[in-house]
């Protein structure tokens, strides 16, 4: 008789001492979130937190800059007492109700001042063509009161826009108005012809009809940028009133 073969139910069970590599991989990746997934999530979450923090810090920086800018702008400008190119006394109150555009320079300036006054002339001519906005009144205030008397200023301004009003005064009066607008100026050494150059701030200041400083424009601002900015401020002022 042939020996009896054991069936599956009669086979002895052997204990499995360790899992196969495939089973280990399947076990490690089982469950709703793997350790690797948790790590990626943690890193991403930390990145988002830092990004949100960065945005908040940048927003605060912008707010602080605006606050500082507003404080600085509010402290610019102020009353002045000067004399115009016809020898008549002029104060800041004479220009209330008008938009004024102030440039500080001197009549013996070789190139920068003429360039800036030509630029202002073009800006005024452009704004004059725009309907619905008031006329802009340009002012030229000298930083060289020793040489720039009313007669000299009147002759000098004839080459620029006819609405220009030139202003001069005593050394103390010029110091007061330049201090109010934070304008730096310093006369250089005289040459053999007793001529000299005055180093000064190259900025034009916009003042509204209430006599309040509104904006300043540096030398690098284009005619288009300045014209657009002034027009927008005039319109905003009109509708706020």
pLDDT tens for 11-36 read 444 444 444 544 444 444 445 555 55
pLDDT, tens digit (0-9, with 9 covering 90-100), for 36-83: 554 555 455 555 554 444 555 555 554 444 444 544 555 899 999 999
Q: Are strands 165-168 and 136-142 parallel, antiparallel or unpaired?
A: parallel
| Percent of the chain surpassing pLDDT 70 | 69
φ/ψ region of 7 (left if φ > 0, alpha if ψ in -120 to 50, else beta) reads beta
- Any idea what the Cα angle at residue 19 is, between residues 18 and 20, rounded to 5°? 125
Q: Cβ distance 163 to 137 under 8 Å?
A: yes
What the block records as the tokens of 64 is 């602080």
β-partners of residue 142 are 105
CB atoms within 10 A of CB 195: 11
Q: Cβ distance 104 to 201 under 8 Å?
A: yes
Q: Cβ distance 88 to 193 under 8 Å?
A: no
The reported pLDDT for the residue numbered 45 is 56
Q: How confident is the model at residue 171 (pLDDT cuts 50, 70, 90)?
A: very high
The reported pLDDT for the residue numbered 55 is 56
pLDDT, tens digit (0-9, with 9 covering 90-100), for 125-147: 999 999 889 999 999 999 999 99
């Amino acid at each position: 008789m042939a020996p009896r073969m054991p069936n599956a139910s009669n086979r002895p069970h052997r204990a499995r001492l360790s899992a196969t590599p495939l089973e280990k991989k399947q076990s490690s990746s089982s469950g709703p979130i793997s350790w690797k997934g948790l790590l990626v999530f943690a890193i991403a979450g930390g990145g988002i937190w830092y990004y949100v923090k960065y945005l908040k810090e940048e927003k605060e920086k912008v707010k602080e800059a605006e606050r500082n800018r507003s404080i600085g702008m509010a402290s610019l400008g102020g009353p002045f007492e000067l004399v115009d190119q016809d020898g008549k006394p002029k104060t800041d109150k004479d220009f209330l109700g008008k938009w004024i555009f102030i440039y500080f320079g001197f009549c013996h300036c070789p190139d920068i001042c003429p360039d800036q006054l030509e630029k202002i002339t073009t800006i005024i001519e452009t704004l004059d063509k725009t309907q619905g906005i008031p006329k802009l009144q340009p002012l030229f205030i000298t930083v060289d009161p020793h040489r720039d008397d009313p007669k000299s200023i009147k002759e000098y301004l004839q080459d620029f826009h006819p609405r220009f009003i030139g202003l001069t005064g005593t050394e103390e009066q010029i110091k007061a108005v330049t201090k109010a607008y934070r304008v730096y100026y310093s006369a250089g050494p005289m040459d053999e012809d007793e001529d000299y150059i005055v180093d000064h701030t190259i900025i034009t200041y916009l003042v509204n009809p209430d006599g309040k400083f509104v904006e300043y424009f540096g030398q690098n601002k284009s005619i288009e940028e300045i014209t657009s900015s002034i027009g927008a401020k005039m319109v905003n002022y009109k509708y706020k009133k």
